[in-house]
Structure 1
Amino acid sequence: TIREHVTINLGTAGGGGVTSIGDDCLLMAGCHIAHDARLGNRVIIVNSAAIAGHVVIEDDVIVGGLCGVHQFVRLGRGAIIGAVTMVTHDVIPYGLVQASRGELDGLNLVGLKRRGVDREDITALRAAFQMLAQGEGAFQDRAKRLGEETDSAYVQEIVDFILGDSGRSFLTPG
């Protein structure tokens, strides 16, 4: 669904030539999707939010009203961005981002529960978040260790996201 005053730019030759929007998305009034952005399925972009060029938004993400997402940022599956937030770094899957300059404040627990994620998986995600926030070593090293120790597909998704190809740094916990 594309509401009033939404702008969507075409892809550019230098950026792959495609701007794509998945199924069952909601683009609310006045939001902007820039060139070469890729939105997954069931993405909600709330009123007057701006998604810059080359942004990748995975499935089931909500971007709050009046947000700005910087170019080349990736928003992992199931993340939620609070209203009036500027996001300049990649956001892990299921991350909760708040504050005017975008801080990774926790996990999108409401979204996980709404999707029917088992309590055992939510507990594993919470433990993983704590390890990423307070473990020893650099953020990437903590993610590698986490990948070696987990049996949770949800946690592994976060690890794969962190260790995947990115041109930006990550919002890190705490």
Structure 2
Amino acid sequence: MVEIHNTAIVEEGAILEEGVKIGPFCIVGKDVKIGKNTVLQSHVVVEGITEIGENNTIYSFVSIGKASQDLKYKGEPTKTIIGNNNSIREFVTIHRGTDDKWETRVGSNNLLMAYVHVAHDVVVGDNCILANGVTLAGHVTVDSNAIIGGLTPVHQFCRIGSYVMIGGGSAVNQDICPFVMAEGNKAEVRGLNSVGLRRRGFSDEELSNLKKAYRLLFRKGLPLKEALNELDTDFSGDKNIEYLVDFIRNSTRGITR
């Protein structure tokens, strides 16, 4: 069964799977697909070519799939794709992609708190928490298991690594390496996210290696290229270190130190 409140508008062509609930005064466009058991509570607008997965709860006054605020966007048929089991709180805005990535993507098991903005061509992984008022500018990438504190803007094209914790009220204008804590305006790396990593099940050996890598990168004062070469040599086969090194080498905006 699909439940649609009598004040909601669901345009012909929209696909609503079993168990979907559309609350009062919601608007669902003709090119929208919503997966099983997803709930739109009230006053939610979903339009454009948008796919929303299963078991999401979307709270009041959320806007998903509207046109980008990028002045270069000319109405190309771009997408918004959202995974499963997300909690998307009041007044969140998620805009469709542009002709860069052609889609904006939010993964699964994320919490987007009130007033979060996800701009065009942003990619958010899985198991992330974006606190109240986080602003992701266009083309930002947030890898899985990251936490971003409230009222934090992230500059366009920046990348936030996995298992990062960013303090509230920070300003991010360069990439934040995986596994670290960052804070400040502008943001600076403050330490390894040791407590968060342990809570996520990292072993003592993994934590020990990451601590050594952190000191090598951020405390010894080595040139970045030399530090990365040492990591390649000393931690060959460690998947976490390999991810960290690859992240830095592929950074386009430079990393936060």
Normalising by structure 1, what TM-score?
0.93
Q: Deviations over 1:132-162 (max 9, x none)?
A: 1233542133112211211432222211111
1:77 aligns with 2:162: yes
Q: Deviations over 1:87-123 (max 9, x none)?
A: 1111111111011210011111121011111111101
1:100 aligns with 2:149: no
1:149 aligns with 2:221: no
Pick aligned residue for 1:116 from 201, 220, 232: 201
Pick aligned residue for 1:134 from 219, 223, 231: 219
Looking at structure 1, the residues matched to 225 and 172 of structure 2 have their Cα atoms a distance apart, in angstroms, of: 20
Looking at structure 1, the residues matched to 141 and 235 of structure 2 have their Cα atoms a distance apart, in angstroms, of: 26
Looking at structure 2, the residues matched to 82 and 48 of structure 1 have their Cα atoms a distance apart, in angstroms, of: 13
1:38 aligns with 2:128: no
Query: Structure 2, unaligned stretches of length 5 or more?
Result: 1-86
| Paired position in structure 2 for 1:17 | 102
Identity of aligned residues (%): 36
Query: Structure 1, unaligned stretches of length 5 or more?
Result: none
Pick aligned residue for 1:4 from 69, 90, 108: 90
| SS of alignment partner, residue 20 of structure 1 | strand
Say which one has the larger Rg. Answer: 2
Deviation at 1:64, TM superposition (A): 0.4
Which structure dedicates a bigger proportion of its chain to strand?
2
- Structure 1 stretches of 4+ moved >2 Å: 134-137
After superposition, the CA RMSD in angstroms is: 1.2
- Preserved contact between residue 144 and residue 163 of structure 1 (Cα < 8 Å): no
Looking at structure 1, the residues matched to 89 and 159 of structure 2 have their Cα atoms a distance apart, in angstroms, of: 24
Pick aligned residue for 2:172 from 79, 87, 112: 87
1:51 aligns with 2:136: yes
- With CA pairs under 8 Å and 6+ residues apart, which has the higher RCO, 1 or 2? 1
Looking at structure 2, the residues matched to 147 and 93 of structure 1 have their Cα atoms a distance apart, in angstroms, of: 16
Which structure dedicates a bigger proportion of its chain to helix?
1
| SS of alignment partner, residue 86 of structure 1 | coil
| SS of alignment partner, residue 87 of structure 1 | coil
Looking at structure 1, the residues matched to 255 and 225 of structure 2 have their Cα atoms a distance apart, in angstroms, of: 10
Deviation at 1:58, TM superposition (A): 0.5
Please show how residues 53-68 of structure 1 align to structure 2 within 5 Å: 53-68=138-153
- Preserved contact between residue 41 and residue 59 of structure 1 (Cα < 8 Å): yes
